[in-house]
Amino acid sequence: MARPDEAAALTALCLRSKASNGYDAAFMAACAAELTVTPGEIAEGLFWVAGDAPPLGCAQLILDARGGAGEVARVFVDPECQGRGIGRALWGRVLAEARAQGLRRLHLDADPFAEEFYRRLGFRETGRSPSGSIPGRTLARMRLDLDGGAVSAVPPPPPARPSRR
């Protein structure tokens, strides 16, 4: 699990990973607030990190207060480490926790560069969502039902990094 004192390093990771998709400085400036990780968000929720100083990847799961669903957020991998299984390992942690929480479905808004990754995990597009930072831009709204399909093919998660809290 991530630690609150890692918020700045995780924010830098999120920005670096997003920028690696070729977004320009103006786009990144518009996204900065949305990609900022706060110590409070880490302390309150389910936020995993791969690697140590500096972190190599991260993923967040936000539980729906009404129950039964979760929102997958801030799934980022350092650009120099992409394609090495870090995203898949983080996904394994998210999926294991979703099942442990008894969730029936997961949702997310996918950046265009991440849509294929999520499709390979079994997500399907259900519509479009407005961007949280770019007026007029929409993102694929995706859903994964946790009762079968490609989800069962995901390898078990790696051991969790011990919490230092």
Measured CA to CA in angstroms, residue 6 lies from 28, 77, 127, 132 at distances of: 21, 15, 34, 23
Sign of torsion over alpha carbons 136, 34, 23, 110? negative
109 within domain boundaries: yes
Instruction: Map residue 81 onto helix, strand or coil.
Output: helix
List per-residue pLDDT tens for the chain, 165 residues long. Answer: 999 999 999 999 999 999 999 999 999 999 999 999 999 999 988 999 999 888 999 999 999 888 899 999 999 999 999 999 999 999 999 999 999 999 999 999 999 999 999 999 999 999 999 999 999 999 999 999 998 544 433 443 443 443 333
Tell me if 120 is assigned to some domain.
yes
Q: Look at the chain and report how many structural domains it folds into.
A: 1
Q: What is the pTM of this model?
A: 0.85
Three-state secondary-structure class, residue 105: strand
107 in any annotated domain: yes
Q: 66: domain CATH number?
A: 3.40.630.30
What is the distance of C-alpha 122 from the center of its chain? 15
